[in-house]
Amino acid sequence: MVTLVAPEDRSPIQHTECFHLVFLRLLGDRLGRAVWAVKGGVNLRAWFRSRRYSEDLDIDVIRVQPHALEERVDRLLASRSLADLLSVQKLELARTAKPKQTDTTQRWKFEIRAESMALPLRTKIEFSRRASRGEEYVLEPVLPEMVRPYGVLAPMVNHYTARAAVGQKIQALGLRSVTPARDVWDLDHLFRTQDPDPRPVPAHVRKALPEAYERVTSLPYAVFKSQVVPFLMPEDQETYGTAEAWKGMCDLVATRLIELSE
């Protein structure tokens, strides 16, 4: 049973997760729930029980104009509601910047101060607009065990299904200019715990399969150790943060990618 963790006992990655959950709760109230969907690491953790905490929060915008989104997010960030909810968690939004505001990408960066931390925590929230590819998403609350450590209400928001997340992660693995080890971790988690079958594989995902396979089979343990292991809790680092565990992840993901290419 996951129990409440007092703010002074939380790790930096838990403080960041708490901020993301509070933000999602308020965004659903202020922006509406029909115009955006959570993707990436927060999606996998909040609805599919990934053990990897996410450094940032990524959201797909389904339909809302850039100027309207910017205005509403800015109002949310300046609101008393956000300040009060963060205060309960012994957190404070110390600095906000919005370095990118285009028709396709809108990004906010934050410094968050936690009473128990000497240095500020950094995270970002990014909204992306992409041409619709019919990817599946559903409206569901965040899993109870994910919000229980913080004593917050579970946000009810759209998020991508496991099937859709597999396709997104294959694309990211095959097309990113720099390959993050977290994509391999995420695919391994989805294949092991959800066993989604994305077939028939959409053309845009199939196109990324050969490069995705090459990257999985060539990504060294050192990259995984630096990019993923710091975002696991200490007890999980001992279990999942070893070179042997990493090899097992790569082998499973490579095998599944071959199957999807056939």
> What is residue 226's predicted lDDT score, i.e. its pLDDT?
95
State the pLDDT at residue 177: 74
Residue 1 has a pLDDT of 63
Segment (H or E) for 138: strand 137-141
What b/e sequence results for 192-204 when a residue is b if at least 16 CB atoms lie within 10 Å of its CB, and e otherwise? eebebebeebbee
Q: The whole model's pTM is what?
A: 0.95
| pLDDT per position as a tens digit, 43-97 | 999 999 999 999 999 999 988 899 999 999 999 999 999 999 999 999 999 999 9
Instruction: Please tell me the predicted confidence (pLDDT) of residue 175.
Output: 84
Instruction: List pLDDT tens digits, range 103-130.
Output: 999 999 999 999 999 999 999 999 999 7
Mapping DSSP to helix (H, G, I), strand (E, B) and coil, where does residue 193 land? helix
- Determine the residue type at 241: G
CA-to-CA distance for 219 and 145, rounded, in angstroms? 32
| Residue 227 dihedral angles phi and psi, to the nearest 5° | -95, -30
3-state DSSP of 5-72: CCHHHCCHHHHHHHHHHHHHHHHHHHHCCCCEEEEHHHHHHHHHCCCCCCCCEEEEECCCCHHHHHHH
| Confidence class for position 33, pLDDT limits 50, 70, 90 | confident
In the three-class reduction of DSSP (H, G, I as helix; E, B as strand; rest coil), residue 132 is classed as: coil
Confidence (pLDDT) at 130: 75
Residue type, 1: M
Residue 164: name the closest of 194, 136, 130 by CA: 136
Do you know the residue count of the chain? 262
- Is residue 94 within a helix (H) or strand (E), and if so which, with residue range? strand 91-101
Assigned CATH topology for domain 7-160: Nuclear Transport Factor 2; Chain: A, (3.10.450)
Give residue-wise pLDDT tens across range 127-151: 999 765 778 999 999 999 999 999 9
The angle formed by the CA atoms of residues 158, 125 and 178, to the nearest 5 degrees, is 105
C-alpha dihedral, 178 to 233 to 153 to 8, nearest 10°: -120
Q: Where are the domains of the chain?
A: 7-160, 164-261
pLDDT tens string 215-227: 999 999 999 999 9
Predicted pLDDT of residue 128: 95
Residue 198 vs residue 253, higher pLDDT: 253
Calpha distance 121→92 (Å, rounded)? 10
pLDDT at 42: 98
Instruction: Give residue-wise pLDDT tens across range 156-212.
Output: 999 999 999 999 999 999 887 777 899 999 999 999 999 888 888 899 899 999 999
